[in-house]
Amino acid sequence: MTLLEFARGPALAFSVAVFVVGLLWRLAGIFRRPGRVDHSVPRHTDIAAGGARAIFAKMLPPRNVKTRVLAMANAYAYHIGLAVVVLAFAPHIAFVKRTTGLAWPALPDWVTYVATAVTMLGLALALVIRLTDGVLKLLSNFDDYFSWFVTLLPFVTGMSLLPPPAEPGPLAAHLLSLELLLVWLPFGKLSHAVLVFVSRYRTGADFRRKGAAV
Amino acid sequence: MSDEIDFHTPRFTIKRPAVRVDQQGEATDAERVGRAMQAFARDMGRTAATYMESCIHCGHCAEACHFYATSGDPQYTPIWKLEPFKQAYKREAGPFAWLYRTLGLKHAVTAGELREWQELLYDSCTMCGRCTLACPMGIDIAGLVAQARHGMFAAGLVPHELHSVAERAEREGSPLGATPKVLKERVEWLCDEHEVEIPLDRPEADVIVTLSSIEIMKYPASLVALARILKQLGAAWTIRTDGYEATNFGLFSGNLDWQRDMSLRVIRAAIACKAKTLLLPECGHAYGAMRWQGANMYGQPLPFRVLHVSEYLAEAAREGRLRLKPLKDSVTFHDPCQVSRRGGATQAPREVLAALGVELREMPSPGDANWCCGGGGGVVTLHRADEHRHRAFEIKMKQVEATGAKRLATSCSNCRLTFDDGQAHFKWDHRMESLLELVADQLA
């Protein structure tokens, strides 16, 4: 079995399995806990709508509360860049189609190249901010730095595929770097990709009940 | 023996202890940690677990906290105040706890860390919830701090002053010595002095009025104001000496049993007099404790409605029952965090101010995003917190001055007390007034 065959076969299956089972385990760890029966009289009863609204409202910067402008603008930039590269780059869509049969239109390559540059620069800046800002230095632990590393790595290995090389090694490395990210995601802070919906919904719903501000 | 309360300073709390005792009971360090974690885990429901899993260490909450904003000290970052409890959750209770323990990725929390964090959980957090507005994940950090305080209380690691006043509240029914006997004497004096009727212990009443001990001891004019307003509204009301104190220091200190006792005293008094409405005083945390947590302490829905006095006044104004002479002044309003941002009654005082006809001049970042006065959550009781509480208060002074308003009002006696203390400390030329008293002064 070549390295590429390994990356496309057992490594991919293993990483997807860890990703799915790990995330489900993490979510089960939350949802197995008791919910609270709230006997207070609600101010509003459209509680689910409040939860849903919070998911979207929290995508925008808070009103009337000072924010870390550079860090926030940078986070917008690399999250959007990441989404464009992962979901709208033609070779990625082709990979998903080969694996699952699902496909959707791609954005032009130049758009994804710009998105790649934005994401990589954004991640670099995010690290600089984390290493230099007193608050972030205090809060940061292994998870923050390793999550940063496994997010950047597929971009670095992906760059070696432009233009596509003749030998299979760089593609195998790219796939393995993605698989490392998938394996790590359920265990660390990258799981906020899923938890963000749970957390925002929970607060949005509870606070809507009271009429409190989110 | 109880610590003596100092009634000769703008801020009512116990006298500065000659020797601080910030640790209660006899227990080994291991026992303290065990109790803290057990109490914290007991409250670990689905929502709290979600929050524990969701922090992305972005640090945005820091900017929203008055204690960080005025010191620049990263340890005041709101989510950092929960660090030992986050560690403990991940190591002992989270979905991957077995992994953390097996691989030794998170160390066991020590009693030393809990002692160190006492200052962050009590002195440096008013549970104002402004950080939640800033959190992109929507984590209710103030709610988690309340939960962590349960752990700290169980460990016997509560700051001296806060434990002292909370214990007094549990034992005497008031954190400031406003016992039923003192209340009766005050009411008699106020009735004679101001020629108002303050009905005590009526067997039946539509409205049961509850009070803050700060009002009873420091701002008794509030009782007179309320009596005058309720007379105009024709309310059948009473104050019950078996359940009148609403501030709930059980909640502040982190003792769930005391919180329940304090809530149940008031609830049982309301039920005993068949009240249809329980009227909460100008007190922020009383609102959170009773309006949103009271029924849960009782274990079932309350057989009466619970209103903050500003909501009651707004309702009366809306229905045209409150007849007022216009107040031709500019006023700025300080929102009590627990009533506005965390309680959902942000508009009620504004309706009342509109009924008064004042020119309302909002502060920068008003209403739900309002900066805390710095004294909530029991912080104003703590002598050792004075320096950074005063620093945080400077934000409020700037906010107020930016409005250029002639008068300053709020609907929380604890905020008012904190403003009085700040006014004295900074020799500031602004005096905080009570919304309730503004209304009473303008009754037609």
Q: Tens of pLDDT along B158-183?
A: 999 999 999 999 999 999 999 999 99
* Confidence class for position A199, pLDDT limits 50, 70, 90: very high
Determine the structural domain holding residue B143 and report its residue range: 29-157
Residue B146 lies in a domain: yes
pLDDT tens string A27-38: 999 999 999 899
Residue B367 lies in a domain: yes
Nearest chain B residue to A137 by CA distance is B74
Q: How many CB atoms lie within 10 A of CB B236?
A: 14
B85 and B195 share a domain? no
Domain boundaries, chain A: 3-12+67-210
B101 and B229 share a domain? no
What span, in angstroms and rounded, lies between the C-alpha atoms of A75 and B383? 41
B127 and B228 share a domain? no
Residues B74, A66: C-beta atoms closer than 8 Å: no
pLDDT above 70 for A104: yes
From B103's Cα to the closest Cα of chain A, the distance in A is 13
Mean pLDDT of chain A: 96
Residue B162 lies in a domain: no
Residue B381 lies in a domain: yes
What span, in angstroms and rounded, lies between the C-alpha atoms of B20 and B118? 13
Residues A63, B369: C-beta atoms closer than 8 Å: yes
Predicted local confidence at residue A24, as pLDDT: 98
Residue B384 lies in a domain: yes
pLDDT above 60 for B398: yes
Which of B 229-268 lie inside 8 A of A, CB atoms? none
- CATH number where B273 lies: 3.40.50.1860
B247 and B339 share a domain? no
What span, in angstroms and rounded, lies between the C-alpha atoms of A35 and B318? 37
- CATH number where B406 lies: 3.40.50
Question: Does the CB of B303 have a partner CB in chain A at under 8 Å?
Answer: no
Number of domain units in chain B: 3
Nearest chain B residue to A130 by CA distance is B58
Single residue among B123, B157, B191 that ends a domain in this structure: B157
Residue B312 lies in a domain: yes
B312 and B329 share a domain? no
For chain B, helix (H) and strand (E) counts, in that order, are 22, 10
B263 and B333 share a domain? no
Q: Which residues on chain B are in Cβ contact (under 8 Å) with A71?
A: 58-60
Single residue among B157, B188, B208 that ends a domain in this structure: B157
Question: Does the CB of A163 have a partner CB in chain B at under 8 Å?
Answer: no
Q: Where are the beta strands (DSSP E) in B269-344?
A: 277-280, 305-308, 330-334
B217 and B338 share a domain? no
Best of B58, B116, B276, B350 to mutate (most A CBs within 10 Å, chain A): B58
Q: How many CB atoms lie within 10 A of CB B25?
A: 10
pTM, to two decimals:
0.95
Residue B1 lies in a domain: no
Predicted local confidence at residue B1, as pLDDT: 55
pLDDT tens string B329-385: 999 999 999 999 999 999 999 999 999 999 999 999 999 999 999 999 999 999 999
Angle at B322 between CA B316 and CA B326, to 5 degrees: 130
From B159's Cα to the closest Cα of chain A, the distance in A is 25
From A139's Cα to the closest Cα of chain B, the distance in A is 6
B86 and B194 share a domain? no
Residue B436's nearest CA partner among B350, B340, B351, B310 is B310
First to last CA, chain A: 53
User: How large is the ipTM?
Assistant: 0.95
Residue B7 lies in a domain: no
The mean-pLDDT minimum among A133-142, B41-50, B206-215 falls in B41-50
What DSSP element (H or E) covers B6? strand B5-6
pLDDT tens string B284-325: 999 999 999 999 999 999 999 999 999 999 999 999 999 999
- CATH number where B72 lies: 1.10.1060
What span, in angstroms and rounded, lies between the C-alpha atoms of A167 and B180? 87
